[in-house]
Amino acid sequence: MSLKFLVSRPTLSISLALMLSTGSATGAQQEHNHHAHHQQMMAKPGYQSSLQSYAIPELSLIDIHNNKVSLSKALGEGGPIILNFIFTTCTTICPVLSATFSQVQGKLGDKEKNVRMISITIDPEQDTPERLKEYASKFKAGANWQFLTGSPSDIITTQKAFDAYRGDKMNHIPLTLLRTKTDGQWLRLEGFASAAEIVAEYRQHLVESTEIGALYK
């Protein structure tokens, strides 16, 4: 059972120009509808936070160096984690999420350099390790920010494990997940949290998880 609570937080409204591809009238209409859906989500102020417990599946993904990465080890070991889901051809939600992660890197203090960030593509057929490497460079990803892809089935399984799967990449939601302790709960931020808000949420979650852990010692 997961413990849930919802909190609305004010954040900056975000607007991006839509890039509509050329093609058939039907294809253009579908593209327009998808972007309209994303624009509606981007127009919503604030975000919601909740504490969640997730079972990490035993499977392997692939990093930008073509190395296999055990998902359970990547997310279950090595200290604090901040996680999101993106795809490189997204022109609305994902650039915002990735730019925010890029800013988070700079806002984490010297005592927080152990925080690792992981971005998992939801479009593995397009997002090869090489493409993710280019994307990582575009957003100036540092050594603590990892990008992962994998087989379509493993990517879907991963999304479902974190209640992030919405059936189609164009229906994905803005989502950031963070955990301060390997045996702790995940803080789920659904919506557009700014870099400052993510860092503040991380620090607050760290304090709360430490205090709760002390009660059981």
CA dist 139 and 38 (Å) reads 21
Residue 7 lies in a domain: no
Q: How many CB atoms lie within 10 A of CB 113?
A: 12
Contact (CB, 8 A) for 121 and 127: yes
Q: How many CB atoms lie within 10 A of CB 102?
A: 18
Looking at residue 211, what is its pLDDT? Answer: 59
Provide the CATH number for the domain around residue 66: 3.40.30.10
Residue 5 lies in a domain: no
Looking at residue 40, what is its pLDDT? Answer: 54
Predicted structure pTM score: 0.79
Report the DSSP beta bridge partners of residue 60.
70
Q: How many CB atoms lie within 10 A of CB 33?
A: 11
Looking at residue 45, what is its pLDDT? Answer: 59
Residue 12 lies in a domain: no
Q: Which residues contact 189 (CB under 8 A, 6 or more apart)?
A: 47, 48, 49, 175, 176, 177, 178, 197, 198, 201
Looking at residue 111, what is its pLDDT? Answer: 84
Total domain count, the chain: 1
Residue 197 lies in a domain: yes
Contact (CB, 8 A) for 163 and 71: no
Q: Give the domain extent around 38.
A: 25-215
Residue 14 lies in a domain: no
Residue 115 lies in a domain: yes
- In our burial notation (b when 16+ CB lie closer than 10 A, e otherwise), range 122-146 reads bbbeebbbebbbebbeebebeebbb
Average confidence (pLDDT) per 10 residues, the chain, 217 residues: 42 36 40 49 73 96 98 88 98 96 93 94 98 98 96 98 95 95 90 96 88 47
Residue 18 lies in a domain: no
Residue 2 lies in a domain: no
Looking at residue 10, what is its pLDDT? Answer: 42
> What are 167's two structure tokens?
């059936």
Contact (CB, 8 A) for 39 and 18: yes
